[in-house]
Structure 1
Amino acid sequence: MIVVAEVYYLKIEEMSRFHNRNFELLEPYEGKLSRTVLRGERGSNAPDLLDTHIVLVDTGNSYQGLCNFINRRTNGEDGVYFTYTEKNPISFNPFYTDDGVFDIEKRESIKTLIMTLWKRDNEPPTRSEEVALSNAVSLYIERITIDESVVPSFNSFYEFVKLDYAAILDAKRVREKDFDLANFLNVLEPYYKGGEYDFLLNSEKQLDLLSKRFIVFEIDAIKDHKILFPIVTIIVMEVFINKMRRLQGIRKMILIEEAWKAIAKEGMAEYIKYLFKTVRKFFGEAIVVTQEVDDIIASPIVKESIINNSDCKILLDQRKYMNKFDSIQALLGLTEKEKSQVLSINMSNNPNRKYKEVWFGLGGVQSAVYATEVSLEEYFTFTTEETEKLEVAKKTEELDGNIELAIKQIAESKRK
């Protein structure tokens, strides 16, 4: 458990005074503060963060240890980690739901996904193509809803379009220039069984992410991939919006680490704007993390959406940007008092204690610098240092996969 010493006001009762609970976190150094938002102290009248549904988008495998920890502690019920390797490529099944419910959001996300596979960014669909695709998706969903022998997957959708939907189009005498079925099937063939990307949308794991409380999308290996990355970002969008709209009365959080820079470039800008403006209405929080001040100064998405809709701002040590801080101050709308607080971070720390200072600003009405301390157990759960991660992995393997015990033993050995 994380120990956020002195940060007592981060209770949900206090946060509820503000218009929204979105965060903007600027951490120019390799701080671990972004992890603290995952386990803050909560008030007695508020749901604990353990009841929160959290979706993380990350680069660098920062949360792999924590995700494995949660997965083991919950006996596989929670802690879902998506990443890409050659031996184990990332895989989804957007056509599967536990409860068989395909609401408007779900149907639209499927259509958007298929449209992304089919058309290039500079190749907008015609009205007749949009109608044809919409009908294909609706009829396929109707089929899998009434016929349990059809396994929901991209493979069965492709076969449905190739055979059943083709017959419907013939009967309706739909012209090729209105909807070129042969072209549609040819372009989507790489995602069908035997194709280059047949793994991507045909996961055999019957996994409905709506019920999973802790999900990590690690996108470092695919963030520059022109095929895989846009598809994964659509999946991320669909997962969180589905939670946001369907999990009524349940707190939900999306935390986008450095990955937000890549996401914002791939057609997700409008989604991020929509997310930050509406998530509070659904008892949700959106958080972005960045280490580079130039990113937040240069990005119109940040200026127009994230900062304006984030009542909570968190800044770590800014000495690296001492000469540029006027720009940060202007962008974040900090007062002179708040500027002085930020620039005092880590300037007079107690040498006998291991902690980092951090500045919190809440709604422009309350701000202060606080000390953040974590236990060794917490440190080794979140560490991104390669040698330390390998140490934890090796000890976990020695203990038959018990990562919790491995971390406890490593922490204890460091105290001696």
Structure 2
Amino acid sequence: MTADYWIVGARVVDGTGQDPAEGVAIHVVDGRIADLGQAPPDAETLDAGGLTITPGLIDAHVHFGLSSEITPSLRRELSVAELAADMFANCSSTLDAGFTTVRDTGGIDAGLARAVASGKVRGPRILQCGPVQCQTGGHGHLAAEWEPTSDWGDHAIPGLRAMSLLSDGPAEMRKNIRETFRLGADFIKMCVTGGVVSTHDKLSDTQFTVEEIAVAVEEASARGTYVTVHAHNNAGIRNAVLAGVKCVEHGSEIDEETAALMAQHGVAHVPTLAVVHALLEDAAAAGLPPEIRDRIGPALDGQVAGLRASRAAGVRVGSGSDLIGPAQGLRGKELTLRSEVETPMLALESATRVNADILGVGEETGTIEVGKLADLTAWATDPLADPTAFGDPDQVILVVQAGALVKDVRP
């Protein structure tokens, strides 16, 4: 398409929560939405008749650096070329599933994000945190028990993958946060509780002190950005909120009291249902041991309860898939699962407008409004009527990213 064209004939769901509009044409000029209305008779048009257009989806919790089988990739059983190829393929399939923006919450560094931004690799716009910040033996420290802690840093592949940095104490934390920003991070991700995919901890463990977390928040604030935290239990979440973080990932124990504290401090919540469903179905497919299953049930039930508690308290609730391993093609299933807990419209808003706000890009994308980037996804089936469409990449007929037509499978 040229730099000036109209998309016509579609049903438009703008991501603001308003009712869908029939037959509204979208005028795209130089990558942005210039007008919403009716195309002039002499305009260049793209026929989207019969399709439903939503804003381009946003996944607020991805792990492109974990696109290969986890255990073999960490044991150097896969070449750097294979690791990179899996990451590139994952980027492409994410775009094909209708996601035009993602937030990578640990596993890549700025190299992959820049490769995609330059056009060398096909994929969504990427915001990334570089290596996750974790304590020795905490969630994110995935070394085998026999491996010396001093060797963990050797797992990084500069310019491609950066798994985690280990900090013990405020001074070491400050140094590692500054190093993470030097490597090009857009924000900071910390692990403040144990996790499901963990080697040395339990879900009930709290990790990092309030003082250590506060150092990361101070350094991020000095850069004009924020800290988000991997957190399951309420004690860890409360520590993080009191230290000044802006977002909680997972939140599988969030109760009424914790949700109220989060709302009071303006802390967002990004549930991640798709990953626990995927691991319940087949943990081995991600290259993980079967005993991981023992942690999954409580994490799944808790996240649904935590989501409801956050909603009731007025917390901003985003959307993330958290898929790991090679099977990340059904990223949109997160919205299907969310639609079973709440309405499809709320699920869509979480994965568009709300996620854009959480990521700090709400002025540029997340809704179909004049002045914003033309990030659009067109569906063969209306996903508000049939939310299973969200999880089926074959239902994604058109993807427009900043005005560029990056997927078009119209008959």
| TM-score normalised over the length of structure 2 | 0.33
Higher strand share: 2
Structure with the greater alpha carbon radius of gyration? 1
Output the TM-score relative to the length of structure 1.
0.32
User: Which has a greater percent of helix?
Assistant: 1
Higher RCO (CA 8 Å, separation ≥ 6 residues): 1
